[in-house]
């Protein structure tokens, strides 16, 4: 939809009549850089406020991989924090040990935290689990993302505990969240579907928060370009094994043809969560018999995995 334009045909911002840089399909508005930034940051602030994700006194550990989402998360939180008193940001990077990929993203994370003056901790899989992901994956490459995901989550939680964080913020965006809904449905994993949203607090975990859960991947890219924080980084060599990749392409086609699909998926998850409250699907977590961490079964995923890896 094109409203008024400049002499050279560039649409004008619907709010201030400066040249627009984006068209938001969900709101039907053209926005200039300033109004686009303000709208995205306000949406993140509203998500935080509505779900009580961050409160006064919090020490928020941002899971900073150095990729696009976590870079945008740290940038946005550091800008929003100028108006929040008594909240401190710290960044944690997990170096899984993926040759030809992780070095550059770790470097990018270091540069960003230096630029923003934010405390930064980098923890490696070797330090946490005794070896690199590359070593664990020899002969198990097709399981790369599930093994990586289980161990990285454990690493972030240990890191957050170690530095005394009260919240662990991850850069999951709208696309990631919608993809997760679909993947859990495809796998028939309703209990994970119900445990996946909002604040994940079982009393023992540092609660995980997802402040970008209503910001799309495309908006994150636009935000980074506008704020001079866009970096071309290599792709993880194991991405080709990821089911998420197929779901991502399926869903982005749907979103393009039927705007709002991703938001509707997230709303569906919320309705399922509400409907399942108190049922066997949303049973509270118990303590793992191996390590004592919260677990849905007798042993947590990390203990089961370490046993199968012989670690
Ligand atoms: Fe880990 Fe898979 Fe992401 Fe690579 S693509 S970093 S293996 S989750
Ligand atoms: Zn404007």
Residues at CB less than 6 angstroms from ligand 1: 144-145, 148-149, 236, 238-239, 242
What is the distance in A from the centroid of ligand 1 to the CA of 180? 15
Provide mean pLDDT across the span 178-186.
92
Higher-confidence residue of 136 and 281: namely 136
Nearest residue (by CA) to ligand 1, atom 6, is 236
Higher-confidence residue of 278 and 212: namely 212
Nearest residue (by CA) to ligand 1, atom 8, is 145
Q: How many CA atoms lie within 13 A of 197 on its CB side?
A: 24
How high does pLDDT run on average in the chain?
88
* pLDDT band at residue 46 under the 50/70/90 scheme: very high
Residue 233 structure tokens: 């980084």
104-153 pLDDT per residue, tens: 999 999 999 999 999 999 999 999 999 999 999 998 888 899 899 999 99
Range with the largest mean pLDDT of 34-38, 196-200, 239-243: 34-38
Distance CA 133, CA 221 (A): 28
57-74 pLDDT per residue, tens: 999 999 999 999 999 999
- What's the pTM value of the predicted model, to 2 decimals? 0.89
CB 27 within 8 A of CB 15: no
CB neighbourhood size of 235 (10 A)? 9
Atom of ligand 1 nearest to the CA of 137: 7
Atom of ligand 1 nearest to the CA of 148: 1
| Per-residue model confidence (pLDDT) at position 287 | 83
Taking CB atoms within 8 Å and a gap of at least 24, the contacts of 42-47 are 43/214, 43/215, 44/76, 44/77, 44/80, 44/211, 44/212, 44/214, 44/215, 45/80, 47/211, 47/212, 47/213, 47/214
| Burial readout 143-168 (b: 16 or more C-beta within 10 A, e: otherwise) | bbbebbebbbbbbbbbbbeebebbbb
Range with the largest mean pLDDT of 192-196, 217-221, 253-257: 217-221
Residues 6+ apart with CB under 8 A from 146: none
Distance set, CA 102 to CA 109, 152, 278 (Å): 10, 13, 41
What is the distance in A from the centroid of ligand 1 to the CA of 14? 40
* Residue 165 reports pLDDT greater than 90: yes
Q: Which of 38-52, 77-91, 182-196 has the lowest mean pLDDT?
A: 182-196
Distance CA 303, CA 300 (A): 5
Distance CA 111, CA 160 (A): 21
* Residue 201 reports pLDDT greater than 50: no
Higher-confidence residue of 244 and 120: namely 120
What is the distance in A from the centroid of ligand 2 to the CA of 231? 25
What is the distance in A from the centroid of ligand 2 to the CA of 30? 8
Among all bound ligands, the one having the nearest atom to the CA of 149 is 1
């Amino acid at each position: 939809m094109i409203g008024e334009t400049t002499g050279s045909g560039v649409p004008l911002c619907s709010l201030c009549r400066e040249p627009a840089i984006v068209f938001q399909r969900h709101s039907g508005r053209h926005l200039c850089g300033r109004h686009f930034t303000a709208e995205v940051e306000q949406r993140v602030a509203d998500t935080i406020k509505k779900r009580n994700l961050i409160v006064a006194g919090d020490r928020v550990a941002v899971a900073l991989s150095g990729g696009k989402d976590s870079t945008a998360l740290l940038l946005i939180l550091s800008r929003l924090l100028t108006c929040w008193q008594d909240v401190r940001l710290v960044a944690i990077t997990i170096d899984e040990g993926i040759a030809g990929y992780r070095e550059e993203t770790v470097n990018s994370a270091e540069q960003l935290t230096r630029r923003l003056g934010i405390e930064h901790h980098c923890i490696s899989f070797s330090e946490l689990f005794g070896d690199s992901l590359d070593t664990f994956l020899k002969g198990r490459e097709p399981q790369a993302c599930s093994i990586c995901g289980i161990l990285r989550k454990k690493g972030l939680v240990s890191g957050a505990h170690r530095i005394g964080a009260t919240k662990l913020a991850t850069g999951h965006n709208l696309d990631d969240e919608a993809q997760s809904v679909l993947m859990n449905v495809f796998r028939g994993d309703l209990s994970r579907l119900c445990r996946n949203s909002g604040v994940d607090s079982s009393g023992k975990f540092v609660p995980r928060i997802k402040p970008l859960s209503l910001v799309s991947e495309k908006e994150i890219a636009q935000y980074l370009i506008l704020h001079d924080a866009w970096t071309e980084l290599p792709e993880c060599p194991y991405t080709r094994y990821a089911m998420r990749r197929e779901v991502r392409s399926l869903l982005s086609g749907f979103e393009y043809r039927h705007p709002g699909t991703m938001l509707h998926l997230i709303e569906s998850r919320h309705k399922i969560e509400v409907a399942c409250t108190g049922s066997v699907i949303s049973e509270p977590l118990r303590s793992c018999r191996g390590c004592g961490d919260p677990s849905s079964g007798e042993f947590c995923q990390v203990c089961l995995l370490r046993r199968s890896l012989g670690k």
